[in-house]
């Protein structure tokens, strides 16, 4: 079990970035971590092979930041767990960024201040200046420009935007390690692990909030994201079903999530976005529905598709 941080010293912050096959995104993220007004104590790039990073991060960061590559089996929960295991007992706060997330310059400083400001909170997600996940996406330069404009503006006292969240947005979330303790991401949710962030947050005690204490842009880079629309379509129904039965997702939220994706895939199937295979997703939806109705649905069935 993680111990509470020593109140006489500044908390140690680790940033974990998990990636597969997107070395370009990882390389573009590095400068945004190098220039944080409050440097991270540790930066971990958790990947499946060295080529997923393509460089040695250690010499790219100045003290006090210690950066390293961690090799893990493929799958977002497995990779995030490998990162958590690596920092257990050493850090007080862990920040998870997607490899295509661009944090504002004061993001880590804001996270540190927010946890000090709200001691009852164990998990938080920040303000999204922009999110390209449902759009063509942003280049690193476009995201950096949006972040620079945000950083140049005046911002008032940080505030809680929403409380009692069902989960946190995995591209930009932070936790107290003392709150996490021995909890880990569910490795029964393989590969991209649709909704693993909701499941994990639901198992961490203490408050969960959205706050404007830290911010950034989720680029929504499309490279390497959807290698199989059918697998993702299956996960869009099977994973909420699994999490509802597990007890980490409310029935109403699970049903809304599943229906929204089912409807979107069918409505947009004949005029799909260039970066989404709506037909394959719809096929996966129907297979998952058949498995749910016959009590055969499991998240790991996507490994056989």
pLDDT of 2 above 50: no
Domain ranges of the chain: 13-218, 229-304
Residues in Cβ contact with 208 at an 8 Å cutoff, skipping those fewer than 6 apart:
121, 122, 123, 124, 163, 164, 165, 167, 168, 201
CA distance 183 to 177: 10
- Which residues are 295's β-sheet partners? none
Residue 302 in tokens? 């996507």
CA distance 133 to 98: 12
pLDDT of 27 above 60: yes
Phi first, then psi, for residue 23 (nearest 5°) are -60, -30
pLDDT for position 221: 87
pLDDT for position 266: 95
Q: Return the residue matching tokens 């295509």.
A: 100
**Length of the chain, in residues:** 305
pLDDT in tens, 166-199: 889 989 999 999 999 999 999 999 988 999 999 9
pLDDT in tens, 69-124: 999 999 999 999 999 999 999 999 999 999 999 999 999 999 999 999 999 999 99
pLDDT for position 4: 52
pLDDT for position 224: 56
The closest of 55, 74, 80 to 227, measured between CA atoms, is 74
pLDDT of 227 above 70: no
pLDDT of 1 above 50: no
Q: pLDDT band at 225, cuts 50/70/90?
A: low
What is the pTM assigned to this prediction?
0.93
Read off the pLDDT of each residue in 2-20 and give the average, rounded to a whole number: 80
pLDDT of 3 above 60: no
Residue 295 in tokens? 């009590």
CATH number of 13-218: 3.90.550.10
Read off the pLDDT of each residue in 7-30 and give the average, rounded to a whole number: 93
pLDDT of 275 above 90: no
- Which residues are 45's β-sheet partners? 17, 69
Q: pLDDT band at 205, cuts 50/70/90?
A: very high
DSSP codes, the chain: -PPPPPTTSPPPEEEEEE-SS-HHHHHHHHHHHHT-SS--SEEEEEESSGGGT-S--GGGS-TT-EEEEEE--SSHHHHHHHHHHHHTTT-SEEEEEETTEEE-TTHHHHHHHHHHH-TTEEEEEEEEEEE-TTSS---HHHHHHHHHHHHHS---S--EEEES-S---TTEEEEEHHHHTT----TTS-TT-TTHHHHHHHTS-SEEEEEEEEEEEE----TTT-S-HHHHHHHHHHHHHHHHHHTSS-HHHHHHHHHHHHHHHHHTTTS--TT--HHHHHHHHHHHHHHHHTT---GGGGGG-
pLDDT of 39 above 70: yes
CA distance 102 to 218: 6
pLDDT in tens, 121-157: 999 999 999 999 888 889 999 999 999 999 999 998 9
The closest of 27, 67, 17, 24 to 47, measured between CA atoms, is 17
Give yes or no for a contact between 102 and 25, defined as CB atoms under 8 angstroms apart.
Answer: no
Residue 79 in tokens? 């990779």
pLDDT of 305 above 70: yes
């Amino acid at each position: 079990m993680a111990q509470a941080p020593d109140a006489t010293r500044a908390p140690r912050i680790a940033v974990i970035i998990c990636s597969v096959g997107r070395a370009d995104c990882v390389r573009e993220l590095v400068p945004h971590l190098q220039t944080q007004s409050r440097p991270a104590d540790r930066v971990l790039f958790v990947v499946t092979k060295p080529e997923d990073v393509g460089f040695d991060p250690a010499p790219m960061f100045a003290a006090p930041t210690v950066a390293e590559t961690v090799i893990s089996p493929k799958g977002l929960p497995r990779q995030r767990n490998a990162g958590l295991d690596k920092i257990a007992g050493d850090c007080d706060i862990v920040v998870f960024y997607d490899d295509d997330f661009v944090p504002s310059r004061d993001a880590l400083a804001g996270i540190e201040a927010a946890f000090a400001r709200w001691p009852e909170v164990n998990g938080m997600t920040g303000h999204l200046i922009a999110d390209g996940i449902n759009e063509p996406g942003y280049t690193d330069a476009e995201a950096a420009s949006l972040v620079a404009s945000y950083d140049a503006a005046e911002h008032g006292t940080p505030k809680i935007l929403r409380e009692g969240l069902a989960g946190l947005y995995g591209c930009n979330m932070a936790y107290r390690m003392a709150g996490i303790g021995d909890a880990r991401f569910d490795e029964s949710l393989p590969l991209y692990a649709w909704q693993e962030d909701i499941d994990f947050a639901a198992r961490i005690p203490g408050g969960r909030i959205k706050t404007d204490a830290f911010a950034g842009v989720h680029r929504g880079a499309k490279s390497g994201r959807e290698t199989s629309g059918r697998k993702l379509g299956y996960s869009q129904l099977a994973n909420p079903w699994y999490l509802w039965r597990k007890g980490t997702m409310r029935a109403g939220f699970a049903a809304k999530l599943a229906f929204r994706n089912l409807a979107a895939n069918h409505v947009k199937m004949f005029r799909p976005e260039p970066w989404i295979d709506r037909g394959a997703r719809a096929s996966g939806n129907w297979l998952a529905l058949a498995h749910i109705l016959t009590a055969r649905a499991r998240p790991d069935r996507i490994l056989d598709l």
